[in-house]
Amino acid sequence: MGKMVYLNGRLVEAENAMVSVFDHGLLYGDGVFEGIRAYNKRIFKLDEHIDRLYNSAKIIMLNIPISKEEFKKAIIETCKANKIVDGYIRPVVTRGAGTLGLSPWLCPNPNYFIIADTIQLYPKEMYENGLEVVTVATRRNLTEAVNPMIKSLNYLNNILAKIEGKIAGVEEVIMLNQEGYVAECSGDNIFIVKNNKIYTPPIVVGALPGITQATVNELAEKEGYQVIEKIFSRAEMYIADEVFLTGTAAEIVPVVKVDGRVIGDGKPGKITKVLMDKFKKYVVETGTPIE
């Protein structure tokens, strides 16, 4: 049996998992999603991810047709069907099929589906040696336009930034907000370390509230490090002692060069490595059991 996808209440073979070409998720990016990791047959931060999914849906007035508990059970069932031990889970809710107009109220039946598979965002050597990033011209969406608290299917803003990074020959990029302050990366949250204090941008600058980001905050504070939400500029990144990124797929990845400026001594920083080690141990010991 091949890969199985959970679609609107039942498991189907991946090649038969289909939605209408009139679905507004496809036509307009009208929908929401999450990215969730599984480690050691456990689903990491399942409650937090489902809460964020439902919050995103509420903000855009998208009614998810099943309860949170039902959605969690469906995710577990999908992981079981695909024999997931360590993997990546993508729950998606779309507005559903409607007319060719924008009107969401003409889409009476939202679709929901769950994919469980494998993923690795960065090559292993980048975790060992660090990542080089550049700042791109594509700015983060205004919060008054598409609020960063909505993890929506409309990811074109991030994709355009990613394209700029590809042209520049780097795996990840820094996105600024409209005022020129650091917001986030195309797919990750960002941290800087200065004088043993850890800083990360607040959501008001246009950053998605990251679940891995929040986990790293907790782990850092347990180790005695102060984590501060702070608006900062590119210049403050350049003179930071350490820079690292966090994300569900990326986990924690060190950054050793930003816009050609070497960060610290050009190697993954001491605090970054401590947090990477703590995170690896934490994720395999916690989470919702699949079996």
Residues marked active site are found at 151
Strand-strand pairing, 197-200 and 226-229 = parallel
Residue with tokens 């903000």: 59
Phi then psi for residue 125, to 5 deg, are -65, -25
Consecutive H or E run containing 212:
helix 211-222
Exposed e or buried b for every residue in 110-126, given b needs 16+ CB within 10 A?
A: bbbbbbbeeeebbeeeb
Please report, as a single letter, which amino acid is at residue 177: N
Q: Which of 227, 231, 201 is nearest to 215 (CA)?
A: 227
Residue 154, Cβ neighbours under 10 Å: how many?
16
| CA dist., res. 112 & res. 32, Å (int) | 10
